[in-house]
A and B are shown apart, each in its own frame.
Chain A
Amino acid sequence: MFRKLLVALISFAVLLAACTPSATPVPQPPSTTGPLPSTTEVPSTPAPTVLTFTDGLGRTLTFTGPAQRVVSLAASNTEILFAVGAGAQLVGRDEASNYPEATTSIPTVGGWSGFSNEAIVALKPDLVLAGGINPPELVAALEQLGLTVYLLPNPATLEELYTNLETVGKLTGHIAEAAALVESLKGRVAAVDAKVGSIETRPTVFYEFDATDPTKPYTYGPGTFGDLLIQRAGGDNIGAHLNGQWVQVSLEQLVIANPDMILLGDAAYGETPEKVAGRPGWETLSAVKEGKVFPFNDDLVTRPGPRLVDGLEALTMLLHPELFK
């Protein structure tokens, strides 16, 4: 008898839990209109063109005008905003946003260890620009608070990057500047392609971005921009033949592969060519012996923003200095 009561109670609880969701507002997939209604009166002139977007989470969003107060939740988004000329519209950023200089004066709303919803709300943004790096729960939470969130998906190719730049241009009312930026970037990339097209050899490259364990450092595998840009810059990424995007390479494999050049993406964490030369077993690598170990700004190949092209150019200069004489 007691047991039956227990089973009944538990079943009831499960039913109750399954039913309660309908009592709360569900983040609606269909359109949310921005900007947030505030104290400005409704304009009497006919409404400007309505823009419709589909963001990285597959949601359709419509806007009646460019965003004026933007909060960026990813460093790459911050860079893009400044690059298309929307820096003045940025009112909040994440703590990792450190480029360009001007960002440091903008208040932060969170970072790798979570975001403060109330700080974001307090800034009264009409657009929150999230990135692939932000979890969907964050987007849902901000939406439930009535904010308009657009998730800019992580690009996998340079073309997708250009699309992102144009999207941000449309969102912030800098369409022309975005287009000009894309043209300029395309031009620079074409220039690199032209130079690289004339090379005879492709040096093999080991790009290290984490060497916490010096016998098993991490490198970029296929599907990452690190890999893509190295290839485009006329190099052969050792990680290209491995499985996974962020892969470990053992020291033994490295010795066998014996790359022509080693790039230290973890230079920001204190790795230097001297330290590398001092690692036991690394002194046998030709790159170390010939002094072809160079520090590299990892942001230039990881942040999915316009500086990827800077990264491409930097890589080309390192890999084929002869092209620039």
Chain B
Amino acid sequence: MSRLSPYLLSCAFLTAAILLSIAIGSVFIPPTDMGRILTGWFFAASLPESLQTFAFIIVSIRLPRTVLVLLTGAALGGSGAAYQGLFRNPLADPYLIGVASGAGLGVAAALSIQWPYTFWGLLAVPLAGFLAAMLTILLVYSLARLGKTIPTTNLILAGVAFSAFATSLTSLLMLRSTGELRRAFGFLLGGYTQAGWNPVLTILPFLAIGLGFLVLNGHTLNLLQFGDEQAQQLGLPVTRAKTIILVAASLATAAAVSFSGVIGFIGLIVPHVMRLWFGADYRRLLPLSIIGGAGALLLADVIARSVLSPQELPVGIVTALGGAPFFLWVLRKAKNQGYW
């Protein structure tokens, strides 16, 4: 494969997914009308009355939703690849050290309060999720730190322990809540409750920084595959590098999770597929996982919006139902190739 084609292929996939996401929704927009709308925009012509509602739906509803899904998918794909590289574990996913369970706890706690109907009041629940997620990372990191090093095993253990703790607290909160059980549950199953451009603008800086740092650390992740000792012997300041990657990946994940809920399998499977098809070099794997994650989640979201239309299936269910068999297939192929 030429050096360019992985990016071309992935971008083509993403573009197709974006178009699909804009074209499909619970309101059927005939392809001919869609074509007329698009050409109308292209030539800056004013649209006839009959198409204005469709155009409004595309611009004000589907477009922001598409971008939000794209961003959260990118965050999950990228941080999934980073976590797999950081922990040298094929089962690692963005929720390994507790981001999801921390966010879930924050959300469940926030849902038990009646927030005022203001800008900040409406942002309270996702914000609580985000802050809780970042606090979790801080806590797990501090628990795992051993002098000047952060052994990955400690991180995983601390993360798993905290996750168990947070999950049971969340279950308790949900049981004791009255009407908010369904909303908390909806968060845990993964889904998009907030609409419009606000969520996009809110998470964009965090994703830009988080994913930006990750993409720049491809070589670092390659070195870390040899273990902390060898990486340091090759010249990498290991503790600092791991901290940066951990913070960057967790930042992106926390921001995504606050608005998308807990969507599984994207962060786990997309990096594996990319690795299988395009190799294990993280300098390439990271950007490809970001693009692939965005496309994959867009596809899952289209399915989630179509299957029960006009209701929506929680996206996390679609990724799990579709992801699990796909993952098994990938694993089978991987074993044959001996690539992990």
Contacts and interface: CB of A to CB of B under 8 A. Distances in A.
Is any CB of A less than 8 Å from a CB of B in the complex? yes
Interface of A: 2-3, 6, 9-10, 12-14, 16-17, 20-21, 23-24, 26-27, 29, 39, 57-59, 95, 108-119, 121-122, 124, 132-133, 135-141, 144-145, 244-246
Contacts of B312: 110, 113-114, 116
Nearest to B25: A118
A113 B310 CA distance: 9
B60 to A, nearest CB: 6
B205 A20 contact: yes
Given A20-B205, A113-B314, A114-B311, A119 B27 contact: yes
Contact of A27 (B119, B179, B311, B314): B119
Contacts of A132: 179
B209 A10 contact: yes
B66 to A, nearest CB: 12
Nearest to B206: A13
Given A17-B202, A116-B311, A140-B122, A121 B117 contact: no
A14 B255 CA distance: 12
Contact of B311 (A3, A59, A110): A110
Interface string B162-191: 000000000000000011001100100001
Given A116-B25, A118-B25, A137-B193, A110 B310 contact: yes
B340 interface: no
A141 B194 contact: yes
A136 B309 contact: no
Contact of A24 (B49, B121, B179, B201): B201
A113 B191 CA distance: 10
A57 B117 contact: yes
B27 A136 contact: no
30 contacts: A6-B244, A10-B209, A13-B209, A17-B206, A20-B201, A20-B204, A26-B119, A27-B119, A29-B118, A113-B312, A113-B314, A116-B305, A116-B309, A117-B195, A118-B26, A118-B61, A118-B62, A121-B60, A135-B193, A136-B121, A138-B193, A140-B194, A141-B195, A144-B60, A144-B195, A145-B56, A145-B60, A145-B195, A244-B178, A245-B178
B213 to A, nearest CB: 8
Interface string B190-215: 01011111100110111011000000
A118 B310 CA distance: 9
B234 interface: no
Contacts of A139: 117
Nearest to B117: A57
Contact of A113 (B118, B204, B308): B308
A121 B57 contact: yes
B193 A2 contact: no
Contacts of B311: 95, 110-116
A271 B121 CA distance: 41
B240 interface: yes
A246 B26 CA distance: 34
B interface majority secondary structure = helix
A24 B198 CA distance: 7
Given A17-B206, A116-B310, A145 B178 contact: no
B48 interface: no
A16 to B, nearest CB: 4
A20 B196 CA distance: 14
B313 interface: yes
B53 interface: yes
B116 interface: yes
Interface size class of B (residues with CB under 8 A): 35 or more
Interface in B112-146: 115-119, 121-123
A121 B57 CA distance: 7
Contacts of B193: 114, 135, 137-138
B80 to A, nearest CB: 21
A145 B64 CA distance: 12
A16 B205 contact: yes
B237 to A, nearest CB: 9
A145 B115 CA distance: 22
Contact of B197 (A24, A29, A124): A24
B197 to A, nearest CB: 6
A24 B206 CA distance: 18
B53 A122 contact: yes
B122 A39 contact: no
Contacts of A246: 178
B58 to A, nearest CB: 9
In the complex, the 10 A-B pairs of residues with the closest C-beta atoms, listed nearest first = A116-B310, A141-B195, A116-B26, A114-B312, A57-B117, A13-B205, A16-B205, A113-B311, A119-B310, A118-B57
Contacts of A9: 209
Interface in B36-84: 49, 53, 56-57, 60-62
A121 B118 contact: no
Contacts of B202: 17, 20-21
Contacts of B62: 118
Given A17-B205, A135-B193, A246-B178, 12 more contacts: A6-B244, A13-B206, A20-B204, A58-B116, A111-B310, A113-B308, A113-B311, A116-B312, A118-B61, A121-B57, A139-B117, A145-B195
Contacts of A141: 194-196
A113 B318 CA distance: 14
B310 A115 contact: yes
A122 B50 CA distance: 11
Contact of A117 (B61, B122, B206): B61
A136 B57 contact: no
Contacts of A144: 60, 195-196
